[in-house]
Amino acid sequence: MTSFRVSGVAILIAAQLSLAALELEAGESTPVRVAPLSSLAIHPAVSAPAQVHSLNDSRIESALSAIVEKIQVRVGDVVEVGDELLMLECGDQQNTLDQSMAGRDALKARLAFANFQHARARSLVKSKNISDEHLRQRSADAAALQADLSGAEAGVSKALRNVSRCTVRAPFKAAVVERLIGVGEKAQPGKPLLRLLDLSALEVSAQVQSFDADSLQWAESLSLLVGSKRYPLKLRSVVPALDPRSRSRELRLDFVNERAQPGSSGRLQWSNPRTHLPAEYLLLRDGHYGVFVVREGVARFVVIVGAREGSHAAVDLADDSRVVTEGRYGLNHGDAVTVVE
């Protein structure tokens, strides 16, 4: 009777131990909820302050020393390439041109006569009526006059350029933003006359953080937002230097079609096409930020290089990766998990 009682107790204890072992084994598997990466992924919008610059903010100067006779534009006027801006009093330049042309014409006449004499001398030398020395003299006279005529032609060209400079013309389509001289004042080489702002050669400058500049190699739909107006852009250059104070990098971008006004300020915006995981799913393990995914019933901690606390992180995981969304805080790499619905 005593032996039967002992055996029964032993069986009961063994059963309890077995149940405890099963409960313990079941307790080692952490229940979690998961979601595919594709359902959590975002493509964050990035923005940075930007400004529209004109590549030509030019102070137009005179190439001559002359009195200003007439100014044909006012501040705010928009001028096209070649439009007249300002007239100089150029009587002296015109006189110089007239003298140069008269001197050139005289040399042409003398050269024509010298060429005639040279041709005549060649025929006479064949009949032995003049010496070879006389022929050489005629040839030298014609050559000297030809050289003088070339110099005179250069003088006429210079005088013509100076006369053309009496009319100052717009070098590009521009807005007149400042008049720097008045009628009756004397223009001097190096003294600005007008300030023009190019309306065609425009580009956008933006200062972005270095890590944002790196994402531009994948960027899509770059645009400048000025007020409620959006202007499509294309990246021209990332300046290969950091600002030592802000640690930012400068971007230079071109307008795709419609342009904003020079001097406009706004926001450069783009969408990062790389898959990003919201910051709320990031966890810190062993000094690294990452995310837990479930593979074959086991939690795997995937380190996300470059991830920072409180920021969305770019991930290189398959879209169907099962990311742990609930029950992740107490997990460690390699823990057994049970996925619950």
Closest CA to 289 of 280, 298, 297, 141: 280
168, β-bridge pairs: 86
User: 10 Å Cβ neighbour count for 19?
Assistant: 10
Closest CA to 294 of 269, 257, 325: 325
pLDDT digits (tens, 9 = 90+) for 133-156: 787 888 888 888 889 888 888 988
* Three-state helix/strand/coil letters over 202-256: EEEEEEEEHHHHHHHHHCEEEEEEECCEEEEEEEEEEEEEECCCCCEEEEEEEEC
pLDDT of 216 strictly over 80: no
Q: Enter the tokens of residue 222.
A: 């770059």
Average pLDDT of the residues of the chain: 84
How would you classify the pairing of strands 30-36 and 337-339?
parallel
CA distance 133 to 21: 132
In CATH, what is the architecture of 29-41+276-339? Beta Barrel (2.40)
Lowest mean pLDDT segment, chosen from 178-187, 241-250, 256-265, 314-323: 241-250
CA distance 253 to 287: 38
User: 10 Å Cβ neighbour count for 250?
Assistant: 16
| Residue 1: predicted pLDDT | 42
For the chain, what are the domain ranges? 29-41+276-339, 45-55+201-271, 60-87+169-198, 91-164
pLDDT digits (tens, 9 = 90+) for 315-333: 888 889 999 999 889 899 9
pLDDT of 128 strictly over 80: no
Prediction pTM value? 0.60
Residue with more model confidence, 119 or 269: 269
User: Integer distance in angstroms from the first to the last C-alpha of the chain?
Assistant: 52
| Residue 90: predicted pLDDT | 87
DSSP, residue by residue, 257-278:
SS-PPTT-EEEEEEE--S-EE-
The residue to which tokens 């960027």 are assigned: 219
| Residue 271: predicted pLDDT | 80
215 pLDDT tier (thresholds 50, 70, 90): low
17 pLDDT tier (thresholds 50, 70, 90): very low
Residue with more model confidence, 249 or 220: 249
pLDDT of 3 strictly over 50: no
CA distance 163 to 45: 58
| Residue 28: predicted pLDDT | 73
| Residue 107: predicted pLDDT | 87
In CATH, what is the architecture of 60-87+169-198? Beta Barrel (2.40)
Domains 45-55+201-271 and 60-87+169-198 are alike in CATH topology: no
CA distance 134 to 139: 9
| Residue 201: predicted pLDDT | 92
Q: Phi/psi at 198 (nearest 5 deg)?
A: -65, 130
Fold (topology level) of 45-55+201-271: Elongation Factor Tu (Ef-tu); domain 3 (2.40.30)
CA distance 330 to 336: 12
